[in-house]
Amino acid sequence: MLATMGYITPEITGKFPGYLSPSAGLKFADVPNGLAAISKVPAAGWGQILAYMAFCEVSQEQTPGSAAYAGDFGFKVLTSSDPAEKTKKLNAEIANGRLAMMAIIGMFFQDGLTGSAWGDWANYTASPLRAFENELGVQAPVGFWDPAGFTADGSVEDFKRRRATEIKHGRISMLATMGYITPEITGKFPGYLSPSAGLKFADVPNGLAAISKVPAAGWGQILAYMAFCEVSQEQTPGSAAYAGDFGFKVLTSSDPAEKTKKLNAEIANGRLAMMAIIGMFFQDGLTGSAWGDWANYTASPLRAFENELGVQAPVGFWDPAGFTADGSVEDFKRRRATEIKHGRISMLATMGYITPEITGKFPGYLSPSAGLKSADVPNGLAAISKVPAAGWGQILAYMAFCEVSQEQTPGSAAYAGDFGFKVLTSSDPAEKTKKLNAEIANGRLAMMAIIGMFFQDGLTGSAWGDWANYTASPLRAFENEMGAQPPFGFWDPVGFTADGDVDAYKRRRQTEIKHGRIAMLATMGYMTPEITGKWPGFLSPSAGLKFEDVPNGLAAISKVPVEGWAQILGWMAFCETSKSQAPGTPGAVGDFGWKLITSDDPVVKERKLASELANGRLAMVAIMGMFFQDGLTGSAFGDFAIKQGSAWLAFENELGVQAPVGFWDPAGFTADGSVENFKRRRQTELKHGRISMLATMGYITPEITGKFPGYLSPSAGLKFADVPNGLAAISKVPAAGSVCWNPCCRRRLWIQGVDLFRPC
């Protein structure tokens, strides 16, 4: 652990100032990091190292059975006089030590091989791993990734054999995954799976249970198909089939570049499907369903924590890393105590970043003795360099005070985060629970926020960054493309374009246009029959099916005759094949020659395509909402009258429910139906509304009517005319103006120009 920290620390914090050996003229800065440092240690240094090692060995009795023999040298930071606490700490030390032993060996190896513990992949020119870094399946962001070292021997033959196996397993897993999912969504085929056995498709359960229903002839067919796949093509090393090409040009292509792209996508999808199907098998075997049922897990250790603080909608109890999987209440409480502390520190740190940017800094000196003004301290990480020694002392002293001023042993109030500050908590248990829940949620958000600010600050010198600094960013490649529209501009929060790959960008844009067009047609298909009614006559005369017999929305799927599905698929095939959509062609960018959507005029064409993209994006969101609404209520437009038990009905006659929107709560604040919470929010809304009306009038009135004559503060010689309008007025409010009393027996507290009311 010491050696690992010795490698890492100088890289992060830098080295000590001054001399390591004044007599030898050797500075700390002259000592290289890692193994190379050995050559710089003077003879006296080796003597000190050996002497300290000897001291550690002989200063304590270490015979079997002694405390030191078990690792207890009396340093009560590592151990403890409490046996349970001591055991926990020594367990943690052993685990950390094991990790550090692996880490330092890796660092030694890396250092000896490349001259740096952090290595440099460019130095490994002769590495056997180089043989495979340009193969199919090597994809961003991981690149070539072989943690198990299967390719470490550089055997091309073994690599190709494993790749052929991977492709087969991936294909089988994709089919198996779809076989699990499809019957759940679309239902099963009509009729008989085995007429001779009287077995209907509907009788076959989904998942692993289906195995018990397969008749002997079915197993024969499955095995025969497997044999056909294996023997119908030559799969010897070097053949096309050995690399996964069985001549099905849907999966591959006669164009080498297109074939490579599709096979790369297939490998990635196959890897995902292999993970998915194993998860489904496990879930199915455990609960009897690939989708599981939380109600079945009555004895799960996760049940122990589902009613704890921090379990909030919509996620509920969420522990993807499995920290609570062992059901240890002690470990849960210890982590919760840590979470609350980290959340509080992060909230303070986040506010410390934001506040000086908005309100400015304190006037006067931070350290009069050092001549350091508050205004001289930069915001963010750069402020660390300005903190004087006495400031660090104060920070550490306050941290120590917070730790030792309250008993924080397990079971105490402080251990659960209650330090007696009744602003954060409360003597009312229900109110305390609500506030602590809110605090945990805000702390989690702040932990994410401060890490983002640190990263941004370290990268650009400011927690807010500056897009103008990113002149070489790959995102610059696409900021003038169609679809980059105000107010967002170019917006890619998921980072699809982070690699700057123009080909991948164009492929996604082509897909976006297609999906947008389909979504616009689907959205109009939902809305039009509702508004204009349906066509007269028959949709299918042979089946006696009239247009008016076809319900709107998802229910229409059940009415489409076989010929109708054939027409739909035929039209889709025509759209795909009637025009070349190869990269660089008009079809690839969405121009199929219909001049209603595009134009011969380049400017008009660009404007129409930009509009189409925006409308398509809206339609994709709209159609998903309609599908959800339709599946939930049986109509894409729903029917509020159906939701007789809805929590929202409790508030539809309250003040503020006005035409044409009616009761509108898109964020779902009232979804729990809590009248108490509704009234509290309404009270807050009224106060904020009154303050905002006053503030708005305060902005507007002086601009229209002018300001009062005379003095605002005769003692300070401050005239009303000297007070600027807006936020700049804050700097002019004298100290006496911060608190005043009005005749309505209400205390008016001014904080930075904001008028906060509270009863006397």
- Going by the annotation, the residues of the binding site for chlorophyll b are 171, 230
Q: Measured between alpha carbons, how far is residue 690 from residues 151, 197, 448, 663 in Å?
A: 70, 77, 34, 21
Q: Is 455 left (phi over 0), alpha (psi -120 to 50) or beta?
A: alpha
| CA dihedral of 370, 376, 381, 386, whole degrees rounded to 10 | -10
What H or E segment, with its residue span, contains residue 624? helix 602-633
∠ CA 448-451-455, rounded to 5°: 140
98, 104, 96, 158: which is closest to 131 by C-alpha? 158
Q: Is 566 helix (H, G, I), strand (E, B) or coil?
A: helix
Q: Please list, in sequence order, all residues whose beta carbon lies within 8 angstroms of the beta carbon of residue 49, skipping any fewer than 6 positions away.
A: 41
- Rounded CA-CA distance 583/588 in Å is 6
Mapped to the 3 state alphabet, what secondary structure does 17-28 carry? CCEEEHHHCEEH
Q: Which residues are annotated as a binding site?
A: 145, 166, 169, 171, 230, 266, 269, 271, 283
- Rounded CA-CA distance 374/379 in Å is 10
∠ CA 380-386-391, rounded to 5°: 105
Residue type (1 letter), 267: I
- Rounded CA-CA distance 149/152 in Å is 5
Strand 545-546 and strand 538-540: pairing?
antiparallel
Residue type (1 letter), 498: A
Strand 754-759 and strand 365-367: pairing?
unpaired
200, 10, 43: which is closest to 116 by C-alpha? 10
Q: Measured between alpha carbons, how far is residue 422 from residues 164, 346, 428, 437 in Å?
A: 65, 20, 10, 15
- Rounded CA-CA distance 700/497 in Å is 45
Helices (H), 369-501: 389-404, 429-460
Q: How many helices (H) and strands (E) does the chain have?
A: 13, 13
Q: Which residues are annotated as a binding site for chlorophyll a?
A: 145, 166, 169, 266, 269, 271, 283
Mapped to the 3 state alphabet, what secondary structure does 628-675 carry? HHHHHHCCCCCCHHHCCCCHHHHHCCCCCCECCCECCCCCCCCCCCCH
Strand 545-546 and strand 746-751: pairing?
unpaired
- Rounded CA-CA distance 305/323 in Å is 11
- Rounded CA-CA distance 756/690 in Å is 11
Alpha carbons within 13 A on the beta-carbon side of 727 = 3
Q: Is 575 helix (H, G, I), strand (E, B) or coil?
A: helix
Q: Measured between alpha carbons, how far is residue 546 from residues 366, 409, 557, 558, 675 in Å?
A: 83, 75, 15, 14, 49
Q: Quickly count: other Cβ atoms within 10 Å of residue 684's Cβ.
A: 10
- Rounded CA-CA distance 352/341 in Å is 16
307, 312, 314: which is closest to 329 by C-alpha? 307
Alpha carbons within 13 A on the beta-carbon side of 116 = 9
470 phi, psi to nearest 5 deg: -90, 55
